[in-house]
Amino acid sequence: HELVRRFLLACTAKDCSVMIAMHPDCKNEDYGQNKNNDQVSVNKSNTKADVNGFHGYSYSAAVVDLDPKPLTKMQRYYELDAEI
């Protein structure tokens, strides 16, 4: 029974999707006004380039389509897995 459970869990994992949304996290209003302008102030050092007003990215992530695969369709999933 454990092998069947693990197979169906693997089928669920193969079918899920990870959705990631990212956008610049601009805390300085001056950067937001210049985002379409090519003249953004950049400070360079030996180890990094710092774009004034830019503070990285904000992001959100979600995993979707995690519904468990039914035991009644196990044969079809097995055949599909063999094809791939």
pLDDT band at 16 (very low <50, low <70, confident <90, very high): very high
Measured CA to CA, the distance from residue 18 to residue 33 in angstroms comes to 32
20: pLDDT strictly greater than 90: yes
Measured CA to CA, the distance from residue 23 to residue 60 in angstroms comes to 9
Residue 25's pLDDT is 73
Note whether 5 and 36 are within 8 A (CB).
no
Pairing of strands 17-26, 54-64: antiparallel
DSSP 23: E
Measured CA to CA, the distance from residue 9 to residue 66 in angstroms comes to 10
